[in-house]
Structure 1
Amino acid sequence: MNFKNVTVAGSGVLGYQIAFQTAFHGFKVSVYDINDEVLGKAKAKFAELSECYKRDLNASQAQLDNTFNNLSYHSNLAEAVQDADLVIEAVPEDVAIKTAFYNQLREVAPAKTVFATNTSTLLPSQFRDLTGRPEKFLALHFANMIWVNNMAEIMGHDTTDKQVFDDLVQFAKAIGMVALPIYKEQPGHLLNSMLVPFLISALDLWVREVSQPESIDRAWMKSFGSPKGPFAILDIIGINTVYNVAKLHAETNPLMHPLMQKLENEFIQPGHLGMSTGKGFYTYPNPAYDAADFLK
């Protein structure tokens, strides 16, 4: 594995976590996003994330200082990728946005650079022809709260080079992940193939006004001893991501249309996008599901 310089494209819900985790484990990381204002928000999130690493991983100040020294910030894509051995794409889960990004990336990235998409529901084969290097393109998907939910799914397509695939497995381990190789393309990889139907079933109960999010979460948490229910998970994922996934399935699943309308009216338009904005189905930083009496 020859990855030393890594570019993370997109500093949203997962992008900034991937960048910080990678820098924490000693890699030089260039953080790319569309403008300096968005990058400024990422820097603020890194400061918050460092406190999580202290609390959950017992990270030392020296480790965190080194992490910040490994991070650089760029709003010019060509500058961000000029030395990249690996680009991890974490732009929004929208086909048009990803297509535009790869059309730009292939023109400025060095020939050596491996491209990995963090897509949660799309297939790498949908974008491989856009990359200009299909043999060096595959999916590398992470779970939210990457520093504690430390799993990474590695999924190629039928023309991904086996050595590149194996290198990504080793890279995932090198940044502290439990590596989960996937040998056949599967929409949703492993995790979301199980998680998305679960979350959609919970959303369907809410859209049809069968019950409220708190009761649905309590039903799940109490029955299975889970620390979080589906609506808490949706807040962590980000409601904009949920909306984009619903939009992807709307053509084949008419149940998505009332869900999209309700999400747009009650969450997207007012900017209540979940944990990242301080309000979603719950209010943060002290959501009701963390209260000692939530299950009483």
Structure 2
Amino acid sequence: MQRLTVLGTGVLGSQIIFQAAYFGKEVVAYDINDEALEKLPARWEYLKPLYIRDLPDATPEKLDAAVARIRATTDLGEALAQAELVIEAVPENLEIKRDTWRRVGELAPETAIFATNSSTLLPSDIAPASGHPERFLALHFANEVWKNNTGEVMGHAGTDPAAFEAVAQFADEIGMVPIRVLKEQPGYVLNSLLVPLLDAASGLLMGGVATPEDIDRTWRIGTGAPLGPFQIFDVIGMMTPYMLNKDSDKPGAREFAEYLKREYIDKGYLGKGSGRGFYTYE
């Protein structure tokens, strides 16, 4: 599959777009308004030095060629016209995703394969909205996709095995390590391991047990991990944990979401990509 359309140009969406283009795919970036698309050139300039830092084969010429393979539009029909694969990276809200896929199902080519990048929702909860559940599955990327390069491929009971393998092959072609998730699992493999850590960290913070810095320091020293949980929050960005927690029934989750909004999101501190989250970045 050579022609990719990515729906949503936020932190993960923009990374997926750039990663696919870097590995030679023709990519259409879709978002709902021009304001979102106008931020993309600055995003590419932000990503370029990170690729040079982390990937031995990255050169300015290769990175410029990647940007040249990206086209942006707010016209959904135009975005989907030639798509062989559609990857959705819109906010982590079931109704938003279902509504997006209803429109995609009406406009996309009959042969296009559909993949959600949802971190927590199951493909079977979203697939019927697309009108083509047999061509629907999940392809989940970790943040900083060029470096943390797992591509978790997860279908549902009605996913065509050929579509599953086509997406696994696509993941391999864009520099991912395909992780074949053999049955539906909320959170896939990665987030099934990661979310309990982040929940525990937010509980310690909201309970006044320790500061983010000391919680992170404890985790790094005690386990040898390169990042603590609040450093991970900064990499993920504040909007994802906010969306996941604001309507949650888990004890303390809504309080943590309100804290993130009040102390960080409302002040423009959206995480590492914005230059500030729990920590400050150059």
Q: Same fold (TM over 0.5)?
A: yes
Shift, 1:112, TM fit = 1.0
Shift, 1:260, TM fit = 2.0
Q: Where does the alignment leave 5 or more consecutive residues of structure 1 unmatched?
A: 286-296
Match of 1:181 in 2: 180
Shift, 1:49, TM fit = 0.8
Q: Supply the distance in 2 between the matched residues of 1:63 and 1:107 (Cα, whole angstroms).
A: 36
The answer to whether 1:35 aligns with 2:15 is no
The answer to whether 1:150 aligns with 2:149 is yes
Q: Supply the distance in 2 between the matched residues of 1:97 and 1:137 (Cα, whole angstroms).
A: 16
Query: 1:95-150: CA deviations, max 9, x gaps?
Result: 22212211221121111111100000110111111001100000000001111111
SS of corresponding position for 1:14: helix
Match of 1:294 in 2: none
The answer to whether 1:284 aligns with 2:281 is yes
Q: Supply the distance in 1 between the matched residues of 2:34 and 2:75 (Cα, whole angstroms).
A: 10
Query: 1:232-253: CA deviations, max 9, x gaps?
Result: 00011011100111135x13x2
The one of 2, 22, 39 equivalent to 2:20 is 22
Query: 1:177-223: CA deviations, max 9, x gaps?
Result: 11100010000000000000000000000001111000000001111
The one of 235, 241, 263 equivalent to 1:266 is 263
Shift, 1:29, TM fit = 0.4
SS of corresponding position for 1:279: coil
TM normalised by structure 1 equals 0.92
Shift, 1:230, TM fit = 0.3
Q: Supply the distance in 1 between the matched residues of 2:200 and 2:60 (Cα, whole angstroms).
A: 43
Shift, 1:224, TM fit = 1.4
User: Match for 1:260: what amino acid?
Assistant: A
Larger mean CA deviation between 45-54 and 161-170 belongs to 45-54
Match of 2:214 in 1: 215
Residues paired across the two proteins, number: 281
Larger mean CA deviation between 9-18 and 35-44 belongs to 35-44
User: Match for 1:28: what amino acid?
Assistant: E
Q: How does 1:1-296 map to 2 (within 5 A)?
A: 3-58=1-56, 59-247=58-246, 250-251=248-249, 253-285=250-282
Match of 1:293 in 2: none
- Report the RMSD for the aligned CA atoms in angstroms: 1.1
Query: 1:42-68: CA deviations, max 9, x gaps?
Result: 221012211211221131233122211
Shift, 1:85, TM fit = 0.2
Q: Supply the distance in 1 between the matched residues of 2:233 and 2:64 (Cα, whole angstroms).
A: 32
Q: Where does the alignment leave 5 or more consecutive residues of structure 2 unmatched?
A: none
